[in-house]
A = this chain, B = another copy of it.
Amino acid sequence: MGSKERILRLKEETRTSILDAALNIVQTEGWQALSMRKIADHIEYTAPIIYEYFPNKEGILLELTRRGYQILGKDIREARDKHDLAEDKMEAMWVAYWNFAFTHKEFYQLMYGVDMVCCTVKNSMAEAEQVSAMLGDVIESLFIKQPVSENDICMKYYTYWSIIHGLISINLVRPNGRTTDELNQQILKDAIKGITLSINS
């Protein structure tokens, strides 16, 4: 009978409806609000049936991660194919990556583990501002042309910090990647030198 296929199709439908519900909850209430019971509420079932479609909560997260990479892949591919020169390709691809991170914020958080918990009060902590003040002062002194605008300091500060924080994140998250310590140190120092040189040019 054809009912077999209909049932299979229905099962596939509730499977994706679980993923949709999860994404919906995350987009409206944030990652920390995502719970199995809440997903079950959205699809009008009880929590245990979710385990008929996914092994556990992480299974749902993993599938959403896959979805995210599919979207990201499509965006980057399209950006690449819009240009001929490799330089233009490169810039367009990274800009696409950048845009993906903000238009699909929740996906990016899931894919690259950008945690946003306990970051609300942290802004106005004296100790934190002291650190950025020290770095800002030295950056200011790097400029030959004085005085330096707050904007210029800020920009260079974020440039430094981005590449270093990025490198650290990557190495903390995937410590057994294909990069070595020497390679990382090389990238780090090259990047610092590059940014420092670019200040007065």
A residues engaging B (CB < 8 A)?
58, 61-62, 65-66, 69-70, 72-73, 76-77, 80, 86-87, 89-91, 93-95, 97-98, 101-102, 105, 108-119, 121-123, 125, 127-128, 130-131, 134-135, 138-139, 141-142, 151, 154-155, 158-174, 178-179, 183-184, 186-194, 196, 198
Contact = CB atoms under 8 A, between A and B. Distances in A.
Scoring A123, A141, A172, A178 by chain B CB atoms within 10 A of each residue's CB, the highest score goes to A172
What is the total number of copies of this protein in its complex? Answer: 2
12 contacts: A69-B127, A76-B131, A91-B189, A101-B172, A114-B172, A119-B173, A154-B179, A159-B191, A161-B166, A162-B166, A163-B166, A166-B167
A134 B73 contact: yes
A79 B138 CA distance: 12
B167 A154 contact: no
A86 B196 CA distance: 10
A122 B115 CA distance: 17
